[in-house]
Amino acid sequence: MKHASPSLWTALVGSLARRPGLARLLVIVALFVVWEIAARWFVDPLFLSPPSKVIASLGALFTTRGIPAALGLTLYELAVAFVIAVAIGLALGLAIGLQPFVRASVFPIVLLLYGMPQVTILPLFILSFGIGAASKIAFGVTHGVFPVVMTVVAGVQNLKPILMTSARSMGASRWQMFRHVIFPHMVPSFFAGMRLGMSGVLLGVLLAELYVSIAGIGYFTTLFTQNFEPAKLLGLVGTLAAMAIFLNALVRRAETRFGRWRTG
């Protein structure tokens, strides 16, 4: 910029124009400010608390008996469900992608189940698997496994036949073809699938947790709602949202680091 002495305003606008990320941050800050103002002066404190109050009551929230345990349990369920969903998804996806017989017989079933509104059978899941961690993990797995299967299948199917042909022409064995051609080719799709799978697992586990209001976070969300404690409710929900954002970011990081060979 060749201006003589840019005013503060033009400098600010200029740097914002070059950094959409900064602008995004400002949008989020602006939202918080609006929330603060609205909650303080315009909305009944029974229904909404300003962020300042929420943050102030975080201490009380985390020392409430049962909250840390509930949060820890949820995190545990998320982790276990994710690992299981990814493992099953990968195995099933590879089988469907590589074996025509499996594809013809199993894939239609997978597609049928994928289209089903699983939330309908949530009460049934709880009745069958109980109110403990098992049902939450199971519900998380059933939500998370499908995106993994679909993306792995797509990743295997997208393999251009010319790559297989040239490998075979160089004398590769079946195992070598799998390890050096098929598997690396499928890895980016697999990581994308893991990202979607994490979203699915988050949905399944949290849905189940919110439903079961005997112990766990569902109990506390119901409690805070019924007692009209918006500050604590917002704090709890906010913490869970932060957890979800963090886990998503983790998987996305892994995808960027390990999952990309295409764009070099």
Partner 1 sequence: MAPRTRDAWLSRLVQVAFLAGVILLWYVATTRWGVNRLLLPNPVAVFGDLVEILRTGAYVDDLMTTLGELAAAFSIAVAGGLTTGYLISRSAYLTKVFEPLFAGIYAIPIILFLPLFVLFFGLGPASKIAIGATISFFPITLSTIAGFSGVDRLYVTAARSMGASDAHLFRFVLLPAALPVILTGLRMGFTVALLSIIGSETLASLGGLGHRIVTLAESMEMAPMFAYIVFVIAIASVLNAIVSTLEARGRWDR
**Binding-site member from 234, 235, 255, 259 for partner 1 (CB under 8 A):** 234
Q: Is 87 in the site for partner 1 (CB under 8 A)?
A: no
Quick check: 105 binds partner 1 (CB under 8 A)?
A: yes
Indicate whether 88 belongs to the interface with partner 1 (CB under 8 A). no
Q: C-beta of 24: minimal distance to partner 1 in Å?
A: 5
Does the footprint of partner 1 cover residue 244 (CB under 8 A)? yes
Q: Which of 59, 108, 130, 184 binds partner 1 (CB under 8 A)?
A: 108
CB of 204 to partner 1, least distance (A): 9
Asked if residue 181 binds partner 1 (CB under 8 A), the reply is no
Given 121, 131, 177, 215, the residue binding partner 1 (CB under 8 A): 121
**In this chain, which of 206, 231, 255, 259 binds partner 1, going by CB under 8 A?**
206
Q: What is the 3-state secondary structure (H, E, C) of the chain?
A: CCCCCCCHHHHHHHHHHHCHHHHHHHHHHHHHHHHHHHHHHHCCCCCCCCHHHHHHCHHHHHHCCCHHHHHHHHHHHHHHHHHHHHHHHHHHHHHHHHCHHHHHHHHHHHHHHHCCCHHHHHHHHHHHHCCCHHHHHHHHHHHHHHHHHHHHHHHHHCCCHHHHHHHHHCCCCHHHHHHHHHHHHHHHHHHHHHHHHHHHHHHHHHHHHHHCCCCCHHHHHHHHHHCCCHHHHHHHHHHHHHHHHHHHHHHHHHHHHHCCCCCC
| Residue 245 touching partner 1 (CB under 8 A) | yes
192 binds partner 1 (CB under 8 A): no
Residue numbers of the site for partner 1 (CB under 8 A)? 17, 20, 23-24, 27-28, 47-48, 104-105, 107-109, 111-112, 115-117, 119-124, 126-128, 199, 202-203, 206-207, 210-211, 221-222, 224-225, 228, 230, 233-234, 237, 240-241, 244-245, 248
